Structure 1
């Protein structure tokens, strides 16, 4: 194992290592220099593997996911299969580059699409970014407009490109796709949560399962996703029901401690995650003071 993988391995909870079958082929998050980022203490991919990789390899897996399912209001029922860094290879949403989520958990009655955050906020829609021409493909509102990049007319630039988000948004978020929305409710970081929510709906429909989108986050007051979750703003305050259910890593591990039989494993994982959170919070504080 080369030095990069050794550094990553040292940053992952030992109980999760078996969840990565092929270290070379695994879809690691990389920086612009192509270096794997999971060696960093504050890596969101690393903490996702810490927790969900450990659950995947544990004999307590079905107990834990049954309890998580019951907690968030979908049907329990195993056996549960967990895939780390799952990609929608069937292109259910018509995306040219299909959505990749940090974890997918599929039971006999329900599926959970899980996006994981550590110190970072959600991702934003790229359609409002400036093109090289100085124009924007979308003006930031869900209104009929012409995309200067391709000349197509649509309320959403992504709809004009054949992406099917707005086929599912009316049901998931109780929004009228035929009405104008100014500004677009998914202009900011609600965009990433929307993508996961509609992907969950599409996956559930395809497989005949109940489906839910989860936002797994580290519960610390200095981290953006935690602050948003605490304020009940994960899906822009829209809809008649929550489209994305936030659940903290601490809560997931507490569930594991409550229902799991391997208490030593879950206590060790809890200490590991708490240590990472403390180190990341200190790093963030130091950075903000510079």
Structure 2
């Protein structure tokens, strides 16, 4: 029987394997049965390792990240260090569970906070979800309210828990924290993009670097984040549209082909990613078809 790690290795671009120092302790995403999810063709963690693991170990790394930095509007300058599944152990945002991002790239002048998506949409805030009592910790707006779980009054339930998002939101999105916003400007999956944007701001401030947040995604019309990237990751009414920059895996690999020296490597990665996207898109269409209900 094939082991978990054998299955995962078979689903990762071979050149990316060296980016994982210890396969047993690496923070793998796991499914409900505790099996490593990265053995599946549609795993967002696997495609992130395909691309950023290959970039991490490549001799072209510095020139490619310099080009990506210039594209997203921060200063180039190596050497670049890449950490997969980076955890904010400094808890810069005051979160009780440290934020973990898919990749962090740090150069001599800038840092790139990178969230990776494949076939899934962005994450949403949990505070509006119903508790077992039926109550909600947030009413869906940024307005003066009392959290029924802890009795704390605040405009944002997360602020009431000591989480510092709204210390950075005014700078990043030019929103007045003293004014009510109903509904919350970070409803839906805009919430995850806001989190990454304010984390980038916090890292930049903490490390005295320029910083940018990137949303790396697989560009295919079947995938929610790819469709959202076409319209804009944050709501059109928000200032700070450039707070997080969407950039597809295909675009990053094309940048690598333009500035890199190892053309065989980038051509191979391009073919690998294209094939994986095609398989995942086919699976996505099949899943939708099998779960659809015919009208009466």
Asked if TM exceeds 0.5, the reply is yes
Rounded to whole Å, the distance in 2 between the matches of 1:253 and 1:216 is: 11
The alpha carbon displacement at 1:4 in A equals 0.4
2:117 is matched with 117
Aligned to 1:61: 61
Provide the residue aligned with 2:159 in structure 1: 159
- Paired residues of 2:117 and 2:217 also in contact (CA < 8 A): yes
* 5+ long unaligned stretches in structure 1: none
User: Any conservation in 2 of the 1:235–1:242 contact (CA below 8 Å)?
Assistant: no
Q: Judge conservation of contact 1:214–1:244 (CA < 8 Å) in 2.
A: yes
- State how 1:1-150 maps to structure 2 within 5 Å: 3-150=3-150
- Give the aligned CA root-mean-square deviation in angstroms: 1.0
The count of corresponding residues between Structure 1 and Structure 2 is: 289
Q: Alpha-carbon deviation of 1:98? A: 1.2
The alpha carbon displacement at 1:72 in A equals: 1.1
Q: Which residue of 2 aligns with 1:281?
A: 281
SS at match of 1:251: helix
For structure 2, the 5+ residue unaligned runs are 291-296
**Counterpart position of 1:220:** 220
- Give the structure-2-normalised TM-score: 0.96
1:175 aligned counterpart, secondary structure? coil
Residue pairs, 1:248-263, within 5 angstroms: 248-263=248-263
Partner of 2:234: 235
TM-score, normalising length from structure 1? 0.98
- Structure 2 residue matching 1:89: 3-state secondary structure: coil
What is the CA deviation profile of residues 84-111 of structure 1, one whole-angstrom value per residue up to 9, with x for unaligned ones? 0001000000000111000000000000
Post-superposition offset of 1:240: 4.1
Check conservation: 2:12, 2:50, Cα contact below 8 A: yes
| Residue 126 of structure 1: how far off its partner (Å) | 0.3
Q: Deviations over 1:164-195 (max 9, x none)?
A: 00000000011111110000011211111110
Point out 4+ residue stretches in structure 1 off by more than 3 angstroms.
Answer: none
1:191 aligned onto 2:191: yes
Equivalent pair of 1:64/1:256 in contact (CA under 8 Å): yes
Tell whether the 8 Å contact from 1:105 to 1:113 is kept in structure 2 after alignment: yes
The residue matched to 1:181 in structure 2 has which SS?
coil
Distance in structure 2 (CA, Å) of the matches to 1:187 and 1:231: 16
- How many angstroms apart in 1 are the aligned matches of 2:217 and 2:42? 12
Shift of 1:236: 2.0
